C-alpha cells in the first residue's frame, strides 16, 4: 500500500521541480514574454513598425524575436541587467561563428539600434502589465519602446 502511495507523490514532486520558470531567483515583473507595441524615435511614432516583435526575459538572458510570415521567427539573444529603474541591454556578445552584434547576437533593424551595443533604458510607466522604456542612442536619438506583457 505504501508503494502505491509513494509513486504518485514522487511523480508530482518531479513535475513541480521541472515546472520552475526562473533560474537563479526571482527576476520580478520582467519575467516572461512582452510584446513591443510601439516605437517612438525622437518623440515621433514609427508608423513603419509592424508590431511583430516580442521580448522574453529569463535569468539574465533576453530573447528578442521577430514574427515573420507563416509563423517563422528570427531570434536575437543578449543579456540584461536591472538596477532600480535602469534596464541595460547588452548586445556585444560574440561566439566562435559570429562577430559581436551579428546574426542571432544582433538586434532587429526595426528597433533602430546599431549593434554591437550596450544601452541603458529608463523604465518609465510600469503598472505591471505594461512598460515604457526610454534611452538615448549613441547617435543621439531618443528611443521610446512601449511594451505589454503577454504572459
Weakest-pLDDT range from 24-28, 52-56, 90-94, 146-150: 24-28
Regarding predicted confidence, which is higher, 26 or 115? 115
**Would you state the pLDDT for residue 24?**
55
Does pLDDT of 54 surpass 90?
yes
Residues 117, 32: Cα–Cα separation, whole Å? 23
Q: What is the pLDDT of residues 66-86, one digit of tens each?
A: 999 888 999 999 999 999 999
Task: Quote the pTM value.
Answer: 0.81
Q: What is the pLDDT of residues 111-125, one digit of tens each?
A: 999 999 999 999 997
Regarding predicted confidence, which is higher, 121 or 4? 121
Residue 30's CB: how many other CB atoms inside 10 A? 18
**Would you state the pLDDT for residue 56?**
96
Q: What is the pLDDT of residues 125-145, one digit of tens each?
A: 777 789 999 999 999 999 999
**Would you state the pLDDT for residue 8?**
55
Q: What is the pLDDT of residues 11-23, one digit of tens each?
A: 555 544 444 444 5
Name the average pLDDT for the chain: 87
96 is written with which cell numbers? 566562435
Residues 34, 40: Cα–Cα separation, whole Å? 17
Amino acid at each position: 500500500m505504501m508503494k502505491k502511495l509513494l509513486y504518485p507523490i514522487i511523480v508530482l514532486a518531479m513535475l513541480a521541480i521541472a515546472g520552475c520558470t526562473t533560474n537563479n531567483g526571482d527576476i520580478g515583473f520582467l519575467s516572461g514574454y512582452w510584446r513591443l507595441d510601439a516605437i517612438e524615435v525622437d518623440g515621433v511614432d514609427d508608423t513603419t513598425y509592424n508590431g511583430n516583435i516580442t521580448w522574453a526575459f529569463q535569468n539574465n538572458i533576453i530573447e528578442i524575436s521577430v514574427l515573420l510570415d507563416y509563423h517563422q521567427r528570427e531570434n536575437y539573444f543578449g543579456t540584461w541587467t536591472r538596477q532600480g529603474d535602469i534596464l541595460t541591454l547588452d548586445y556585444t556578445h560574440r561566439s566562435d561563428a559570429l562577430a559581436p552584434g551579428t546574426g542571432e547576437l544582433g538586434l532587429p533593424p526595426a528597433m533602430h539600434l546599431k549593434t554591437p551595443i550596450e544601452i541603458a533604458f529608463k523604465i518609465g510607466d510600469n503598472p505591471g502589465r505594461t512598460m515604457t522604456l526610454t534611452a538615448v542612442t549613441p547617435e543621439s536619438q531618443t528611443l521610446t519602446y512601449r511594451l505589454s506583457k503577454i504572459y
